[in-house]
Amino acid sequence: MSSQTINALITLREQILNGELAPGERLLELALVERLGVSRTPIRSALTRLAEEGLLEEISGGGYAVREFTVRDIEDAIEARGSLEGMAARLAAERGVSPLALRKIKESLEQFDRLLEKTDLESEDIERYFDLNELFHNQLIMLTESFVIEHALRRINALPFASANAFVMAQSELGNAWKVFFVAQEQHRGIVEAIENREGTRAESLTREHARLSLSTLKTALKTQAALEQVPGLKLVYTPN
Protein backbone atom coordinates (compact mmCIF):
# COMPACT_ATOMS: atom_id res chain seq x y z
CA MET A 1 0.00 0.00 0.00
CA SER A 2 1.51 3.31 -1.11
CA SER A 3 2.02 6.26 1.24
CA GLN A 4 -0.64 8.22 -0.68
CA THR A 5 -3.14 5.40 -0.19
CA ILE A 6 -2.32 5.17 3.51
CA ASN A 7 -2.73 8.92 3.96
CA ALA A 8 -6.01 8.90 2.03
CA LEU A 9 -7.24 5.95 4.09
CA ILE A 10 -6.38 7.59 7.42
CA THR A 11 -7.90 10.93 6.42
CA LEU A 12 -11.13 9.46 5.09
CA ARG A 13 -11.52 7.16 8.08
CA GLU A 14 -11.11 10.10 10.47
CA GLN A 15 -13.60 12.22 8.52
CA ILE A 16 -16.13 9.40 8.58
CA LEU A 17 -15.75 8.74 12.30
CA ASN A 18 -15.96 12.41 13.29
CA GLY A 19 -19.05 12.98 11.13
CA GLU A 20 -17.42 15.30 8.60
CA LEU A 21 -18.55 12.75 6.04
CA ALA A 22 -22.12 12.04 7.12
CA PRO A 23 -23.98 8.72 7.14
CA GLY A 24 -25.61 8.14 3.75
CA GLU A 25 -23.33 10.64 2.00
CA ARG A 26 -22.16 9.46 -1.39
CA LEU A 27 -18.41 9.62 -1.92
CA LEU A 28 -17.42 10.72 -5.42
CA GLU A 29 -13.90 9.91 -6.53
CA LEU A 30 -13.31 13.17 -8.36
CA ALA A 31 -14.53 15.24 -5.43
CA LEU A 32 -12.25 13.28 -3.08
CA VAL A 33 -9.30 13.75 -5.43
CA GLU A 34 -9.77 17.50 -5.16
CA ARG A 35 -10.49 17.36 -1.44
CA LEU A 36 -7.41 15.32 -0.52
CA GLY A 37 -5.07 16.41 -3.29
CA VAL A 38 -4.14 12.91 -4.48
CA SER A 39 -4.77 10.93 -7.65
CA ARG A 40 -7.74 8.61 -8.25
CA THR A 41 -5.78 5.39 -7.70
CA PRO A 42 -5.08 5.88 -3.95
CA ILE A 43 -8.61 7.22 -3.48
CA ARG A 44 -10.06 4.11 -5.11
CA SER A 45 -7.85 1.83 -2.98
CA ALA A 46 -8.80 3.67 0.22
CA LEU A 47 -12.52 3.43 -0.59
CA THR A 48 -12.23 -0.30 -1.24
CA ARG A 49 -10.46 -0.78 2.11
CA LEU A 50 -13.04 1.26 4.02
CA ALA A 51 -15.81 -0.79 2.42
CA GLU A 52 -14.04 -3.96 3.58
CA GLU A 53 -13.90 -2.49 7.09
CA GLY A 54 -17.65 -1.91 6.96
CA LEU A 55 -17.57 1.88 7.13
CA LEU A 56 -18.76 2.28 3.55
CA GLU A 57 -21.40 0.46 1.52
CA GLU A 58 -21.65 -0.04 -2.21
CA ILE A 59 -24.56 1.75 -3.85
CA SER A 60 -26.53 1.04 -7.00
CA GLY A 61 -24.96 2.57 -10.07
CA GLY A 62 -21.48 2.15 -8.60
CA GLY A 63 -19.46 3.92 -5.96
CA TYR A 64 -19.78 4.07 -2.19
CA ALA A 65 -21.70 5.86 0.52
CA VAL A 66 -20.96 6.24 4.22
CA ARG A 67 -22.76 3.46 6.05
CA GLU A 68 -25.34 4.31 8.70
CA PHE A 69 -25.53 1.97 11.68
CA THR A 70 -28.25 1.26 14.23
CA VAL A 71 -28.01 0.51 17.94
CA ARG A 72 -28.80 -3.09 17.06
CA ASP A 73 -25.75 -3.12 14.78
CA ILE A 74 -23.61 -2.07 17.76
CA GLU A 75 -25.15 -4.82 19.90
CA ASP A 76 -24.54 -7.41 17.17
CA ALA A 77 -20.94 -6.29 16.73
CA ILE A 78 -20.26 -6.59 20.47
CA GLU A 79 -21.89 -10.04 20.57
CA ALA A 80 -19.81 -11.13 17.58
CA ARG A 81 -16.61 -9.95 19.27
CA GLY A 82 -17.61 -11.74 22.45
CA SER A 83 -18.22 -14.97 20.54
CA LEU A 84 -14.82 -14.82 18.85
CA GLU A 85 -12.96 -13.87 22.02
CA GLY A 86 -14.86 -16.60 23.85
CA MET A 87 -13.77 -19.14 21.25
CA ALA A 88 -10.19 -17.91 21.63
CA ALA A 89 -10.34 -18.35 25.41
CA ARG A 90 -11.83 -21.85 25.10
CA LEU A 91 -9.23 -22.98 22.58
CA ALA A 92 -6.42 -21.54 24.69
CA ALA A 93 -7.70 -23.51 27.69
CA GLU A 94 -8.18 -26.72 25.74
CA ARG A 95 -4.86 -26.56 23.88
CA GLY A 96 -2.84 -25.17 26.76
CA VAL A 97 -0.63 -22.10 26.77
CA SER A 98 3.05 -21.60 27.38
CA PRO A 99 4.28 -20.59 30.85
CA LEU A 100 5.73 -17.41 29.34
CA ALA A 101 2.44 -16.33 27.76
CA LEU A 102 0.58 -17.11 30.96
CA ARG A 103 3.06 -15.11 33.02
CA LYS A 104 2.74 -12.11 30.72
CA ILE A 105 -1.05 -11.98 30.88
CA LYS A 106 -0.89 -12.39 34.66
CA GLU A 107 1.47 -9.42 34.78
CA SER A 108 -1.21 -7.42 33.00
CA LEU A 109 -3.70 -8.45 35.70
CA GLU A 110 -1.28 -7.19 38.34
CA GLN A 111 -1.03 -3.83 36.57
CA PHE A 112 -4.83 -3.57 36.53
CA ASP A 113 -4.87 -4.32 40.26
CA ARG A 114 -2.35 -1.60 41.03
CA LEU A 115 -4.31 0.92 38.97
CA LEU A 116 -7.59 0.06 40.70
CA GLU A 117 -6.15 0.45 44.18
CA LYS A 118 -7.16 4.06 43.61
CA THR A 119 -10.96 4.35 43.67
CA ASP A 120 -11.17 8.01 42.60
CA LEU A 121 -9.99 7.67 39.02
CA GLU A 122 -8.84 10.73 37.10
CA SER A 123 -8.66 11.14 33.32
CA GLU A 124 -5.07 9.87 33.15
CA ASP A 125 -6.08 6.77 35.13
CA ILE A 126 -8.85 6.02 32.63
CA GLU A 127 -6.37 6.48 29.79
CA ARG A 128 -4.03 4.05 31.56
CA TYR A 129 -6.88 1.56 31.90
CA PHE A 130 -7.55 1.98 28.17
CA ASP A 131 -3.96 1.01 27.35
CA LEU A 132 -3.95 -1.95 29.75
CA ASN A 133 -7.29 -3.18 28.46
CA GLU A 134 -6.04 -3.13 24.87
CA LEU A 135 -2.93 -5.05 25.92
CA PHE A 136 -4.94 -7.65 27.86
CA HIS A 137 -7.35 -8.36 25.02
CA ASN A 138 -4.50 -8.63 22.53
CA GLN A 139 -2.70 -11.05 24.82
CA LEU A 140 -5.89 -13.09 25.24
CA ILE A 141 -6.25 -13.54 21.49
CA MET A 142 -2.56 -14.31 21.02
CA LEU A 143 -2.86 -17.22 23.47
CA THR A 144 -4.63 -19.26 20.80
CA GLU A 145 -1.90 -18.76 18.19
CA SER A 146 -4.75 -18.84 15.66
CA PHE A 147 -4.41 -16.67 12.56
CA VAL A 148 -8.04 -17.40 11.67
CA ILE A 149 -9.42 -15.99 14.93
CA GLU A 150 -7.00 -13.05 14.91
CA HIS A 151 -8.02 -12.15 11.36
CA ALA A 152 -11.74 -12.43 12.10
CA LEU A 153 -11.40 -10.22 15.17
CA ARG A 154 -9.47 -7.59 13.24
CA ARG A 155 -12.42 -7.36 10.87
CA ILE A 156 -14.89 -6.98 13.74
CA ASN A 157 -12.73 -4.47 15.60
CA ALA A 158 -12.47 -2.33 12.46
CA LEU A 159 -15.94 -1.14 13.45
CA PRO A 160 -15.03 1.56 15.98
CA PHE A 161 -17.78 0.72 18.48
CA ALA A 162 -17.09 -3.03 18.49
CA SER A 163 -13.70 -3.17 20.20
CA ALA A 164 -13.13 -3.97 23.84
CA ASN A 165 -12.13 -0.33 24.41
CA ALA A 166 -15.02 1.29 22.58
CA PHE A 167 -16.81 2.47 25.72
CA VAL A 168 -13.88 2.88 28.12
CA MET A 169 -13.50 6.65 27.69
CA ALA A 170 -17.26 7.13 28.07
CA GLN A 171 -16.87 6.04 31.69
CA SER A 172 -15.27 9.41 32.46
CA GLU A 173 -18.69 11.00 31.85
CA LEU A 174 -20.81 8.37 33.60
CA GLY A 175 -19.30 8.73 37.06
CA ASN A 176 -18.97 5.00 37.78
CA ALA A 177 -15.65 4.21 36.13
CA TRP A 178 -14.02 2.46 39.09
CA LYS A 179 -17.02 0.19 39.71
CA VAL A 180 -17.25 -0.87 36.06
CA PHE A 181 -13.49 -1.36 35.78
CA PHE A 182 -13.44 -3.39 39.01
CA VAL A 183 -16.14 -5.73 37.69
CA ALA A 184 -14.26 -6.04 34.39
CA GLN A 185 -11.03 -6.84 36.22
CA GLU A 186 -12.70 -9.61 38.21
CA GLN A 187 -13.89 -11.03 34.90
CA HIS A 188 -10.36 -10.74 33.49
CA ARG A 189 -9.06 -12.68 36.46
CA GLY A 190 -11.69 -15.39 36.10
CA ILE A 191 -10.93 -15.81 32.40
CA VAL A 192 -7.21 -16.24 33.02
CA GLU A 193 -7.83 -18.69 35.88
CA ALA A 194 -10.12 -20.78 33.68
CA ILE A 195 -7.52 -20.87 30.91
CA GLU A 196 -4.78 -21.85 33.34
CA ASN A 197 -6.98 -24.61 34.82
CA ARG A 198 -7.81 -25.92 31.31
CA GLU A 199 -11.53 -25.20 31.81
CA GLY A 200 -12.52 -24.42 28.25
CA THR A 201 -16.28 -24.12 28.66
CA ARG A 202 -15.91 -21.82 31.67
CA ALA A 203 -13.30 -19.68 29.92
CA GLU A 204 -15.59 -19.21 26.92
CA SER A 205 -18.64 -18.40 29.04
CA LEU A 206 -16.77 -15.84 31.17
CA THR A 207 -15.30 -14.16 28.11
CA ARG A 208 -18.66 -13.82 26.38
CA GLU A 209 -20.15 -12.42 29.58
CA HIS A 210 -17.25 -9.98 29.79
CA ALA A 211 -18.06 -8.64 26.31
CA ARG A 212 -21.66 -8.08 27.38
CA LEU A 213 -20.39 -5.57 29.94
CA SER A 214 -20.02 -3.25 26.94
CA LEU A 215 -23.72 -3.74 26.18
CA SER A 216 -24.59 -2.58 29.68
CA THR A 217 -22.38 0.48 29.28
CA LEU A 218 -23.95 1.20 25.90
CA LYS A 219 -27.44 1.32 27.39
CA THR A 220 -26.26 3.74 30.07
CA ALA A 221 -24.27 5.88 27.63
CA LEU A 222 -27.24 6.28 25.29
CA LYS A 223 -28.91 8.33 28.02
CA THR A 224 -25.96 10.72 28.42
CA GLN A 225 -24.90 12.96 25.54
CA ALA A 226 -21.50 13.73 27.04
CA ALA A 227 -20.76 10.01 27.31
CA LEU A 228 -21.90 9.37 23.76
CA GLU A 229 -19.43 11.93 22.48
CA GLN A 230 -16.63 9.77 23.92
CA VAL A 231 -17.66 6.71 21.89
CA PRO A 232 -15.73 6.48 18.59
CA GLY A 233 -17.84 6.40 15.47
CA LEU A 234 -21.11 7.17 17.21
CA LYS A 235 -21.90 9.85 14.63
CA LEU A 236 -22.49 6.94 12.24
CA VAL A 237 -25.23 5.51 14.44
CA TYR A 238 -28.88 6.35 14.07
CA THR A 239 -30.38 6.85 17.52
CA PRO A 240 -34.13 7.61 17.36
CA ASN A 241 -35.43 10.08 19.92
Q: What is the pLDDT of residues 150-188, one digit of tens each?
A: 999 999 998 888 999 988 988 878 878 899 999 999 999
Pick 117 or 19 by higher pLDDT.
117
Distance CA 163, CA 165 (A): 5
pLDDT value of residue 241: 60
Looking at residue 240, its amino acid is P
Q: What is the pLDDT of residues 90-132, one digit of tens each?
A: 999 999 999 999 999 999 999 999 999 999 999 999 999 999 9
> CA dihedral in degrees (77, 195, 143, 162; nearest 10)?
10
- Torsions phi, psi for 18 (to 5 deg): -90, 0
Distance CA 13, CA 16 (A): 5
- Torsions phi, psi for 204 (to 5 deg): -65, -45
Distance CA 15, CA 55 (A): 11
Distance CA 167, CA 149 (A): 23
* In contact, 81 and 221? CB cutoff 8 Å: no
- Torsions phi, psi for 59 (to 5 deg): -120, 155
pLDDT value of residue 226: 75
pLDDT value of residue 47: 95
Please identify, in words, the CATH class of the domain defined by 3-67: mainly alpha
Residues 6+ apart with CB under 8 A from 91: 144, 146, 149, 200
Residues 6+ apart with CB under 8 A from 191: 89, 140, 203, 206, 207, 210
- Torsions phi, psi for 159 (to 5 deg): -75, 120
∠ CA 57-77-171, nearest 5°, is 115
- For the chain, domain boundaries: 3-67, 70-233
Q: What is the pLDDT of residues 46-87, one digit of tens each?
A: 999 999 999 999 998 888 999 999 999 999 999 999 999 999
Q: Considering only 147-156, 188-197, 224-233, which range has the smallest mean pLDDT?
A: 224-233
Q: In the structure, what pLDDT confidence band is assigned to residue 240 with cuts at 50, 70 and 90?
A: low
Please identify, in words, the CATH class of the domain defined by 70-233: mainly alpha
∠ CA 136-202-164, nearest 5°, is 30
Distance CA 17, CA 163 (A): 14
Distance CA 175, CA 188 (A): 22
Average pLDDT over residues 20-37: 92
